[in-house]
Amino acid sequence: MKRKYKIIIPIIIFAGLMVGFQVKTTPDPERDKVLISLIRYALKKGHYEPIQLNDEISKNIYTEFIDGLDPTKRFFYKSDIDEFSKYKLMIDDQIKNEDLSFFNLVYNRYIQRLHESQNYYNKILNDPFDFDKKGTFSLDYDEKSFANNEAELIQIWQDQLKIATLSRLHEKIRMQEKLQVKSDSEGDKAVIDEVLEQPKFIEEEKNISQPKTFEELEREAREGTRKSMDDFYDFVIDLDEFDWFSVYLNSITLSFDPHTSYFAPKDKKRFDISMAGKLEGIGARLQKKEEYTTVVELISGGPAWRQGELEVGDAILKVSQGDGEPQDIIGMRLDDAIEFIKGKKGTEVKLTVLKIDGSLKVIPIIRDVVELEETFAKSSVVEKDGHNYGIINLPKFYIDFKERGFRNSATDMAREIERLKEENVEGILIDLRNNGGGSLKTAIEIAGLFIKDGPVVQVKYRGEKPNVKSDTDKKTQWEGSLVILVNELSASASEIFAAAMQDYNRAIIIGSKQTFGKGTVQNLLPLNNYYNYPTDLGALKMTIQKFYRINGGSTQLKGVESDIAIPDKYTYLEIGERDEKRPLGWDKVSRANYTPLNYYENFNAVVNKSKERIISNPHFTLIDENAKWLKKGRDDKTVYLNFDDYQKDIENREEESKKFDAIDNYKSNLTFNSPKYEIPLMQKDSVLSKKREIWHNNLNKDMYINEALNVLADLKVKKEYLLVKN
């Protein structure tokens, strides 16, 4: 899906305001020393790829911690950094000696600078901004220096607060213009509806009778910025010293790999709740990427998934409770941001998000409990050129959760295959797009549905030989043609299954150039199990294993490369394991003992024919152009500080986007239907019927599904495999 336009927004205005101005709990240096020692020991003994604590690692920890506190360089002075940098090569030694000198120095200085900064924003926001003055501001903070003095620091605040106000001002003027059009046209329902969907900071415009002046709107926008800053400072007061010691500990763990992290006691409690299957909220998995709370997965069947506008890659900038004032969460700790986003079933949350093209969108979501039925495998039947084909959508590799009635993806997949056989389908397409993985056991069992028996994956602990995991059931559930559709968000168990089918030549893999590339396994270690301390020490999530394909190559970083690569909107964006900080590297082990199948009469011919179709298909060409355009928008770090220039930049982006309108208008004209067994169920259940109607309509508009079906229709299994009896 293409996006309409870029809005330059205040993406860094509230970054860095993460700690309170008074310690809410008494610091416990003994506990902190115990944690340092425990984590160092655990990483040394248990991490898959332990690293030597040395000067290089010390520099990494130093950078992670400073960036975690002040990513936008508007709190610390250069003199502070000069003082801190004396420890840059000493942190490794301090960790070994349980010395907290570096942490204490930086943390206490940060509290001091936060006190001082509270005075800046109120003084700056007392006077109008000059939006006639020409100028730009770069959001590339890696290229910026810390302020030398207070005057330079105040100028940084001046620019950032101006950007925040400029964003609000632009939205106010835009809505006033639309309301004026509404008034002139005697009530345009579409315009009224669009206005009513906007966040509260422009709600006052709904009943406007006379247009407000630029000066009046500027003052309102400035006060909106002040209110947001006031709210944020009120919020961070409740954080304590241990919150920030946790940040320091994670600066250490992140030097090992991006999936190894420390969970403070309250964070561990939230993790335990999520693992127990209590999914009330918006149904999205969030991750901290730099200063942003970023969507990395939508839970199939959840409120955000059903609402349809939130996407992987979206950065959440503001959160409002219903019609309440939006709260900026940029720079906020992930767990604290989640506190704003989650809530009781039936309540509304409005998320202001930065889309992948740089545009700003307000997305309203009604919180709910995730509908677990939508996380199960489901199938559809489509007729193409007089032949029936089956589609199985598998959102997760799930297994034996009590909340799911002890269902698992392997038995459900086998059941769906049998149902599709009753429909006389000639081929099956498995859709693994956005499937983030799950149970390794079910991935192996599902692979066994399509091969007689043999190795499926290799799992390796540090310093040990790979353990080959095999399918031992000689029964084959499906002997016909098989195509697997993937994208950049197909990860972990999805990659294991797709890789096995590719290594056996059992299926054609089609989709993104490569899958996510997560070839590691983590384990959660409650630290009180290893040290008898009177209070909860939290837990360490640590990488302990690696996955390898049966051909010997790791799925780490490289993922699974598609046999047929199709352009998509993420093609040029930073999506995947390879774009994380310091991921574990790709390597290989010995090949497992297996025999690739010569399963299809025309495998290469079908692949080449599909590639030719994709190259000549104007829709895919347009998607590739759109992907490059999205990349350009995401990389644009320049904000215009002159209002006219700012507005012109947005208008230019809107005009550029019109060439991509055809992407959203695609239809395949194929008809998708539920298998016969589901018809009476839908007649009794109107909700299920509506869900299937929406899914089938989406399949009809999905050009990736259409091309995968073209491949499936062309693929011919050799007769000797079809004649095999189990």
Mean pLDDT of 75-86: 97
The average pLDDT across 535-543 equals: 94
Q: Tens digits of per-residue pLDDT, 171-223?
A: 888 878 776 665 555 444 444 454 444 444 444 444 445 788 999 999 999 99
Nearest to 372 by CA among 271, 286, 302: 302
- Structure tokens belonging to residue 328: 């900026």
Q: What is the pLDDT at residue 203? A: 45
**Boundary-marking domain end, from 347, 366, 385:** 366
Q: How many alpha carbons fall within 13 Å on the CB side of residue 363?
A: 25
Confidence of residue 724 (pLDDT cuts 50, 70, 90): low
Q: Is 173 inside any structural domain?
A: no
How is residue 522 written in tokens? Answer: 């983590």
Mean pLDDT on 490-495: 96
Task: With CA atoms as reference, report the closest residue to 591 among 559, 558, 550.
Answer: 550
Mean pLDDT of all residues belonging to the chain: 86
Q: What is the pLDDT of residues 371-405, one digit of tens each?
A: 556 678 999 999 999 999 999 999 999 886 555 45
CA distance 541 to 539: 7
Helices 643-657, 618-635: axis angle to 10 degrees equals: 160
Residue 211 is predicted with a pLDDT of 85
Stretch 28-56: mean pLDDT, rounded? 94
User: How many whole angstroms separate alpha carbon 667 and alpha carbon 664?
Assistant: 9
Helix 603-616 × helix 703-714 angle, to 10°: 150
Phi then psi for residue 313, to 5 deg, are: 100, -15
Share of the chain above pLDDT 90, in %: 59
Q: Are 285 and 430 contained in the same domain?
A: no
Q: What is the pLDDT of residue 21?
A: 40
Question: pLDDT tens digits, residue range 269-301?
Answer: 555 444 333 445 788 878 777 667 888 877 766
Please list the helix, strand and coil fractions of the chain in percent, rounded to the nearest 5, in that order.
45, 15, 40
- pLDDT of 119 higher than 80: yes
More confident residue, 692 or 331: 692
**pLDDT (tens digit per residue) in 609-629:** 999 999 999 999 999 999 999
pLDDT at residue 722 in the model: 80
Looking at the structure, tell me whether residues 326 and 425 fall in a common domain.
no
Q: Are the C-beta atoms of residues 426 and 479 closer than 8 Å to each other?
A: no
Assigned domain for 654 exists: yes
Cite the DSSP H helix spans in 408-540: 409-422, 440-448, 493-503
In this structure, are 354 and 412 located in the same domain? Answer: no
Q: What is the mean pLDDT of residues 216-235?
A: 86
CA torsion sign for 481, 487, 488, 492 is negative
AA letter at 217: L
pLDDT of amino acid 557: 96
510 CB contacts (<8 Å, ≥6 apart)? 483, 484, 485, 486, 562, 563, 564, 566, 610, 704, 707, 708, 711
78 within 8 A of 149, measured Cβ to Cβ: no
Same domain for 445 and 345, yes or no, is no
Which whole-number Å values give the CA distances from 466 to 182, 470, 503, 589, in the listed order? 68, 12, 17, 8
660 falls in which pLDDT band (50, 70, 90)?
A: very high
State the pLDDT at residue 182: 56
Burial 447-464 (b: 16+ CB within 10 A, else e): bbbbbeebbbbbbbeeee
Same domain, 501 and 419: yes
384 and 356 within one domain? no
The pLDDT of residue 184 is 56
pLDDT of residue 465: 96
Count of the separate structural domains present in the chain: 2
**Do the domain assignments include residue 658?**
yes
Cα–Cα distance measured from residue 630 to residue 1, given in angstroms and rounded to the nearest whole number: 11
Question: Are 269 and 310 members of one domain?
Answer: yes
Domain harbouring 304, CATH code: 2.30.42.10
Q: What is the DSSP string of 535-572?
A: S---EEEEEEEEEE-TTSBB-TTT--B-SEE---TTTT
What's 115-130 look like in SS3?
HHHHHHHHHHCCCCCC
What is the distance between the alpha carbons of residues 431 and 55, in angstroms, rounded to a whole number? 46
In percent, the amount of the chain with pLDDT more than 70 equals: 86
Whether 9 is covered by a domain: the verdict is no
Confidence of residue 9 (pLDDT cuts 50, 70, 90): very low
Q: Which residue has the tokens 């693929």?
A: 715
Name which of 128-132, 223-227, 389-393, 465-469 the model is least confident about: 223-227
Mean pLDDT of 117-146: 92
Band the pLDDT of 133: cuts 50, 70, 90: very high
The whole-model pTM stands at: 0.83
294 versus 543: which is more confidently predicted? 543
Residue 527: predicted pLDDT:
94
Three-state DSSP state, 355: coil
Longest dimension (CA), the chain: 83
Helix ranges restricted to H, 560-642? 603-616, 618-635
Per-residue model confidence (pLDDT) at position 600? 97
Q: Which of 346, 366, 386 is the last residue of a domain?
A: 366
Please indicate, yes or no, whether residues 624 and 675 belong to a single structural domain of this protein.
Answer: yes
Q: What are the beta bridge partners of residue 350? A: 320, 364
Instruction: Indicate whether 643 pLDDT > 60.
Output: yes
Q: Are strands 564-565 and 508-511 parallel, antiparallel or unpaired?
A: parallel
| Listed residue (700, 514, 515, 510) closest to 609, CA to CA | 510
Radius of gyration for the alpha carbons in the chain, expressed in angstroms and rounded: 27
Q: What is the pLDDT of residues 550-565, one digit of tens each?
A: 999 999 999 999 999 9
- Residue 333's domain comprises 261-366
Query: Is residue 574 pLDDT above 90, yes or no?
Result: no
- Average pLDDT of the residues in 312-337: 79
Domain boundary among 345, 366, 387: 366
**Residue 215: what pLDDT?**
94
